[in-house]
A and B are shown apart, each in its own frame.
Chain A
């Protein structure tokens, strides 16, 4: 995955995206940020979690390129970065389209294969010829 100018540490690919998403608190943080940027203090409040604890989660999300810091020097609000999630979504969408699109091509291939093979698979080769 290319850095695409995040201004943070370059995301390390799907690995870090999925690792970041694998924690329920981090998913909830992302959910909150989807409705708008927030400071660490604002993020900590609904979790009844200390700010250092929330900051740990934010670091993981920032390293994965899912969250960036806004410019307000005092508040340093965190923002959701959609592109890695879009990449992950594309990967998952690929999983669904992998099956649908592939199977349509497999249908066409199977039609070709049937055309050059008998409808019913031949029995094991007989080495004896029937004598009449």
Chain B
């Protein structure tokens, strides 16, 4: 696996999750791919899911709405509002889910040029430790059965 593909997910504080990745393209192209619906539709979402709704109003105070649909028809929707839009290096937005709103998450995405490539760092700040723990399982570790091992492994994994 070359340098470009290494995906790192960490939890530096009790409310944060950080995703880091290197892309072999300049920051402007990466920023566009993160924010233009015609480009997002080409890559956003895991295998087997299709982006069926992709609305982006890219400006401070503008909203976005993504709905990913799985092959069996299950939908997962995300929405939020942009707080900072500074192409190509910085994007800050709130985020929550159509079927779960425990409070806003704050997502800060920073793109840094590195020899023509882009270092992507995205930090999600959860509204509380409890919400982050619910997502990440860190609160489940004490006496947790093997069934929860998958939950705890999720965001501590490195590709």
Contact = CB atoms under 8 A, between A and B. Distances in A.
A94 B44 CA distance: 12
A28 B45 CA distance: 33
Given A95-B155, A105-B43, A121 B28 contact: yes
Nearest to A1: B74
B95 to A, nearest CB: 12
Interface string A89-132: 10111111111111111111111011001011100000000000
A97 B47 contact: yes
B46 A27 contact: no
A113 B29 contact: yes
B151 interface: yes
Interface residues of A, number: 45
A89 B142 CA distance: 18
Given A85-B148, A103-B21, A106-B33, 20 more contacts: A21-B140, A28-B143, A35-B145, A89-B154, A91-B76, A92-B137, A92-B150, A94-B49, A95-B135, A95-B154, A96-B154, A97-B46, A101-B46, A102-B45, A102-B46, A105-B42, A110-B24, A113-B33, A117-B29, A121-B28
Contacts of B140: 21, 27
A110 B46 contact: no
B7 A114 contact: no
Interface of A: 13-15, 18, 21-22, 24, 27-28, 30-31, 34-35, 80, 82, 85, 88-89, 91-111, 113-114, 117, 119-121
A100 B7 contact: yes
Given A22-B130, A94-B76, A102-B46, A107 B147 contact: no
Interface string B70-105: 000000100000000000000000000001101000
A97 B139 CA distance: 22
B9 A107 contact: no
B42 to A, nearest CB: 5
B56 to A, nearest CB: 16
